[in-house]
Amino acid sequence: MTVSYRQPGVVLTDRRFTVPLDHDTPSGETIVLYAREAVASDKAGQDLPWLLYLQGGPGFGANRFIRKEAWLGRALEEYRVLLLDQRGTGHSTPANRQTLPLRGGPAEQADYLSHFRADSIVRDCEAIRPQVTGGAPWTVLGQSFGGFCAVAYLSTAPEGLDTALVTGGLPSLDAHADDVYRAAYPRVARKVAAHYARYPQDVERARRIADHLLTHEVVLPNGYRFTVEAFQSLGLMLGGGDGSHRLHHLLEDAFVRTPGGPALSDAFQEQAQALLSFAGHPLYALVHEAIYGQDARPTAWSAERVRNEFPGFDAAKTLAGDEPLLFTGETIHPWMFDCDPALRPLRETAELLAARTDWTPLYDPARLAANEVPVAAAVYHDDMYVHTPHSLETARAIRGLRTWVTDEFEHDGVRAGGPRVLDRLIALARDEV
């Protein structure tokens, strides 16, 4: 049963689809996909082309818009939009600490989650496309990991695409996770240096908080063990357009005076808890490194291993001297499965995924070199989450792809830029600029 309802200027319709868990075994187990169809109120009765939106992540459901926000208003000028909760996210047969035990033990859970990468997501899209469009190709808009999925789509089922639009999500076609993180840590250090240049008072604030966490055991209200490494991971915010400002406001009121001496304030702990918890997106932690697995090499906690090559990120060594504390970025570590109550029951499952050696290629360079689908991509000049040189190398490898390289936006440009980013990409793909 479909249900339609209205928001300001938009008609939304809830849609559900049944697809195979393993598309190579179509008669086997199935899962449910959920998506919201969106159309402008004044175009609800019109026959419009479709735009499929693939959210970043992995592990996040599609945006829950409440009006023509961000890029959606521009899209609704000419498209019906399908906001897909990718498998395992949102309302699409969720995968988390509560549901995964239905699969069995950690080995069964890891096998199940091996079907939650870009290749399976693309096959989901192709399975539901005839039900949505009547068989016509659609335009795909992929943000971040959604862009990885768009490149996989171009590699495996380009006949399903009218146009591909990518924002901050052109992946390397062949880099191992180690290559990704080896490039990432220096980039993150640059973002941290830029933050301290903007807010020099945060140097001492960050050092003070880190010192407190090294010398005190802090457990957040939800049971999260708040370690210094967890504090450093808040640097993830620095990849967004307003992230530096948000981090600054978080740090400025971290401590309060108590009868027992200075302590981290309840307000600070509450905000940190919301930022650190994976309760709403556990797949992000579970399969994040797996999105880079394409051969027999295990990912083997790549971000943790590679971090050891960059001693500047060692908080204890930093505090023994007088250097600014370095925050970290988009990295997943084993300690997260000890600290976060939403992840603790899944630690062994995560270990098995990290050790897996049967990952298959996600991209087809030969097919991409012969691409005939119009493609346009926004590449952010110093994107903290996706290595710009990797993106540009891939752009050159996809026939006909047009890039818009800009330092006007950070990784979240498609959200922060309102209609401008999508408008530019549509024009590029149509060869109008």
With beta carbons less than 8 A apart as the criterion, state whether 301 and 331 touch: no
With beta carbons less than 8 A apart as the criterion, state whether 80 and 49 touch: yes
Residues belonging to the active site: 144, 358, 411
What number of other Cβ atoms are within 10 A of residue 206's Cβ?
27
What number of other Cβ atoms are within 10 A of residue 355's Cβ?
12
At 302 the pLDDT is 98
With beta carbons less than 8 A apart as the criterion, state whether 21 and 93 touch: no
With beta carbons less than 8 A apart as the criterion, state whether 343 and 336 touch: yes
Q: What is the dihedral of CA 207, 246, 71, 373, to 10 degrees?
A: 0
At 19 the pLDDT is 98
With beta carbons less than 8 A apart as the criterion, state whether 34 and 15 touch: yes
Mean pLDDT for back-to-back runs of 10 residues, the chain (433 residues): 88 97 97 98 96 96 91 97 98 98 98 98 98 98 98 98 98 97 98 98 98 97 98 97 97 95 96 97 98 96 98 97 97 98 98 97 98 98 96 98 96 93 97 93
DSSP label at residue 13: E
In angstroms, the CA 391 to CA 174 distance is: 12
Closest to 403 (Cα-Cα) out of 376, 380, 423: 376
At 205 the pLDDT is 98
At 2 the pLDDT is 77
User: What's the token pair of residue 102?
Assistant: 């239905």
Which residue type occupies 198? R
Q: DSSP secondary structure string, 366-421? A: HHHHT--S-EEEEEETT-SSS-HHHHHHHHHHSTT-EEEEESSS-TTHHHHTTTHH
With beta carbons less than 8 A apart as the criterion, state whether 325 and 239 touch: no
Q: Which domains can be identified in the chain, with CATH numbers? A: 3-173+363-429 (3.40.50.1820), 177-355 (no CATH)
At 1 the pLDDT is 63
